[in-house]
Structure 1
């Protein structure tokens, strides 16, 4: 089964997804570098700025971070999220059912979808974050010197870790965003079991992202805490967040995906 899925992986789609993510992340890198070239890099900025205050997960000044985190559902879903739907449509799935149980077939595809979604989000973020170590000093951020970033408990999870161990905080942010890339890919995979049109299914994660943003703007939680993934996937966010809401939404989305896969897999393949 695993060997079959490896052969079915479309390297061009994986490459295209990685390319989109890397281009957007390096566009943010270019915007920061261009800003240094235009306005100079005086002594105060040299000692106040570091990879931890400028990488795409923390940048509040450029448009490219918003673009990347908005498009995470699409970027994560392109490689393999609709692969099972494609194999159902072209009847390849019939061959697999002769070799493995229906349950094994469905969850093998689901695992591949999650892992690929995780990887294609992690790689661009790691490249962006790592690139800044070539041009900026590896110094810890300071809550006074870097006050322009307004990093606080309201918009950043585990703030104390950010100031004491910024490298690990950034890595956790990358892992968390990548994990949500896997969740969005899994949601697209689950949606493809109900939606026959491959393109519509591919866009389902992005549609969910936008719907949650719209609903979040109309139906607010106390203290304006956001429950839209777009508003809590960055290391520092442009909305009020708290860890309990973030964990609740994450667990709920995982449960929804698993339930849809269990129901939709039998419905689509048996039919």
Structure 2
């Protein structure tokens, strides 16, 4: 099992799709710094300690939920999460790799390894650009603690974890990075579920984006913006009334249903 995971990790992380997608995420992260941070430092607000408008806690790509680069990153999130390894099960069946690996490993070990590595690769291509952007912002901008009386923070009094944001901002950012990582990993798992029944690579990779897009359209139309991943995955919380329970209400069914479809469908498959 351990050897199989190492092999799958190598296939996922040392590959041109992973590097390509990671590069896109990093370029968006750097573009945000160029468009949103550098002009402010040079012209609008001189860099100085104590400036409440120029800090990582207000200008990180995760907090600037109205900027072009933030919306671009979170719009592409399901596609970026899917490309590195989401179609690997489909490709293993098509190439005959699946039958070959079954001579050296059990079906259960293969499926668990595939599931684990797909999840990790999908989450990491979102996590890394967000972390890089945060580190750059922390390096360029003064680390001025936020005060709720200033009124310039991205969060409002009713926002989820608002007290944590002001009292322990690093912990707030860490929690949100974990949420984004888990959700991106779950979207990658949707590819595995779809590849059990669908034999078109493009459809397999596009499936998470379609699910994401449907939720983005349907929930706001129904007055349930808090349930749209495109909105609640942004740490700046550009939506009122968000709670952990509402996030779990969307994430858990997606994760459970995708996992069940993949494991039951792949286990019964005659492709082995």
TM-score (norm 2): 0.90
Larger mean Cα displacement after TM superposition, 35-44 or 67-76:
35-44
Q: Aligned pair 1:107/2:108, yes or no?
A: no
Match of 1:25 in 2: 29
Q: Please give the alpha-carbon distance, in whole angstroms, between the structure 1 residues aligned to 2:57 and 2:149.
A: 15
Match of 1:171 in 2: 174
- State the aligned residue count: 266
Give 1:168-247 correspondences, 5 Å limit.
Answer: 168-220=171-223, 224-240=224-240, 241-247=242-248
Picking from 80, 97, 119, the partner of 1:92 is 97
Give 1:39-78 correspondences, 5 Å limit.
Answer: 39-41=44-46, 46-78=51-83
Q: Please give the alpha-carbon distance, in whole angstroms, between the structure 2 residues aligned to 1:150 and 1:92.
A: 49
Whether contact under 8 Å (1:46, 1:136) holds in the other structure is: no
SS at match of 1:193: helix
Alpha carbons of 1:4 and 1:225: their partners in 2 closer, same or farther (altered >3 Å)?
A: closer
Alpha carbons of 1:77 and 1:269: their partners in 2 closer, same or farther (altered >3 Å)?
A: farther
Match of 1:14 in 2: 18
Larger mean Cα displacement after TM superposition, 241-250 or 82-91:
241-250
Gaps of at least 5 residues in structure 1 are none
Match of 2:255 in 1: 254
Whether contact under 8 Å (1:88, 1:269) holds in the other structure is: no
Match of 2:161 in 1: 158
Q: Please give the alpha-carbon distance, in whole angstroms, between the structure 1 residues aligned to 2:157 and 2:260.
A: 33
Whether contact under 8 Å (1:76, 1:121) holds in the other structure is: yes
Q: CA deviation at 1:19?
A: 0.4
SS at match of 2:264: helix
Whether contact under 8 Å (1:231, 1:239) holds in the other structure is: yes
TM-score (norm 1): 0.90
Q: CA deviation at 1:266?
A: 2.8
Q: Please give the alpha-carbon distance, in whole angstroms, between the structure 1 residues aligned to 2:110 and 2:270.
A: 10
Q: CA deviation at 1:164?
A: 0.3
Q: Please give the alpha-carbon distance, in whole angstroms, between the structure 2 residues aligned to 1:45 and 1:139.
A: 5
Q: Please give the alpha-carbon distance, in whole angstroms, between the structure 2 residues aligned to 1:269 and 1:72.
A: 33
Alpha carbons of 1:32 and 1:91: their partners in 2 closer, same or farther (altered >3 Å)?
A: same
Q: Please give the alpha-carbon distance, in whole angstroms, between the structure 2 residues aligned to 1:136 and 1:7.
A: 37
Q: Please give the alpha-carbon distance, in whole angstroms, between the structure 2 residues aligned to 1:135 and 1:44.
A: 12
Q: CA deviation at 1:49?
A: 2.5
Q: Please give the alpha-carbon distance, in whole angstroms, between the structure 2 residues aligned to 1:58 and 1:150.
A: 6
